[in-house]
Amino acid sequence: MRFKAIFKKFNLSLFYIMYLFGYTVIAIDLNFEKNFGNIRMKNSARGRVDPFIVMDVMEAARQISKLGHEVIHLEVGQPGTGAPTLAKEKVINGLSDSTMGYTVALGIPELREKIADLYWRWYKIKVDPERIIVTPGSSGSFILAFTGLFDVGDTVGIGSPGYPSYRQILKALSLNTCAIKTTSDNKFQPIATDIKDKNLDGLLIASPANPTGSMLNKDELEGLMEACDQKQTVFISDEIYHGIEYDTRAVSALEISDDCFVINSFSKYFSMTGWRLGWIVVPYDYIRQFERLAQNLFICAPHISQVAALGALDSHDELNQNLGTYRANRALLIEQLPKIGFKKFAPPDGAFYFYIDVSDYTDNSLNFCKAILEEVRVAITPGIDFDPDRGLETVRLSYACSTPDLKKGLSRLDNFMSKYRL
């Protein structure tokens, strides 16, 4: 409580103190709450989604950088590395060999075959390439799945905290979100009993999860899938962080049953965020309907990115080096965060995030993150992005950056926190 009071007091007078001590006051709009202005023409209620706060934090950080200040980016879930070398080589050669026109809507057949091989490589399961649909990012797969599976007014369950865009995409498609309030005892993951008394048309889970990095083991996943099966609830598994695991490997829903929808992406393990490429595996009966939707919604995923992905799928050595960096960063954070004053977290099983309880210091994580950005130029994300009810007492820190950057960020966070430590 004492820390909270000091923080609040300090936060209120931050600009004043900076002014008094002659600092350049950065008068940037760090108010992440954007309103909709005076739109006079018709606009849809379903389109009035919340901002993706991490993107707003990125924008605020960019403005600070523009003024010549170095910002350390621990906010965005984006590998600091670019696309793997083989992917870039494929693109360079591909550009001279091809007009890069539309591809077939389901994706280049060779790419779908290579993605199927990945399921054998990672889980020793055979997935028919016919069931794989390549999309613009996994974000494209969510749009495809939600439009292909649900009707207006249907309800989809998602764990809270969770990836913020799930609920915003659902809203934009006039679907209802049922936020399942998860607990730290269950690693902030939904469990089978959570859904027994709920009438859900669909359940969407992520393991490893964003923002916690926690994973469901095979029994837990099986329990959830069985519970869904009994209630005829469609099961969707977001496996975007597969490949980025530390002590145990992540389990794919496809290892348990083919009656589910599995979404993945080239953004995280394959380090290709801006290439906008992902995929969804669907049961046989859904291929044609999803193909029609893909044809009409996107025509196809970016051709050039599909070519790059062919190279990325042959780059496991290079990608495993990235994994080595995440592993080292994770170990560094487990050691350093408590010393800095951030003691309340569970080490992530996968992905590249720490979800930290900062309730000893603030009850407004938005202001807390603003103060950190303004004062020591480290960008981190307020938990409110992931959990509208409880996220004012949490923050998410991404360690997908290089180790030297992370060390610099930690030393700045240490400076910031020095005022609050006993």
Ligand X SMILES: Cc1ncc(COP(=O)(O)O)c(C=O)c1O
DSSP 3-state assignment of 95?
Answer: helix
Note whether 409 binds ligand X by CB under 6 A: no
Backbone angles phi, psi at 412, to 5 degrees: -70, -40
Determine which residue in the list 103, 138, 305, 362 makes contact with ligand X, applying CB under 6 A: 138
Residue with smallest beta-carbon separation from ligand X: 137
The distance of closest approach from Cβ of residue 144 to ligand X in the complex, given in angstroms and rounded to an integer, is: 12
Residue number with CB closer to ligand X (134 or 417): 134
Q: How many residues does the chain have?
A: 422
Q: Per-residue contact track with ligand X, 202 to 221, x per CB under 6 A?
A: ----x---x-----------
Dihedral sign (CA 157, 160, 163, 164): positive
Distance CA 377, CA 161 (A): 26
Q: Can residue 240 be called a binding residue for ligand X (CB under 6 A)?
A: yes
Residue from 373, 369, 370, 371 nearest 356 by CA: 369
Question: Minimum Å distance from CB 137 to ligand X?
Answer: 3
Taking Cα atoms as reference points, which of 312, 420, 311, 416 lies closest to residue 373?
A: 416
Q: How far is the CB of 268 from ligand X (least distance, A)?
A: 7
Instruction: State yes or no: residue 273 binds ligand X (CB under 6 A).
Output: yes
Closest separation between CB of residue 309 and ligand X, Å? Answer: 12
β-bridge partners, 350: 245
Question: Helix H segments across 341-390?
Answer: 365-376
| CA distance linking residue 385 with residue 400, whole number of Å | 19
Q: How far apart (Å, rounded) are the C-alpha atoms in residues 166 and 159? A: 10
In the complex, minimum distance from the CB of residue 202 to ligand X, in angstroms, rounded to a whole number: 15
CB of 223 to ligand X, least distance (A): 21
Near ligand X by CB under 6 A: residue from 163, 279, 342, 345 = 163
Q: Measured from the CB atom, is 396 or 412 closer to ligand X? A: 396
Residues in contact with ligand X by CB under 6 A are: 77, 137-139, 163, 206, 210, 238, 240, 265, 267, 273, 278
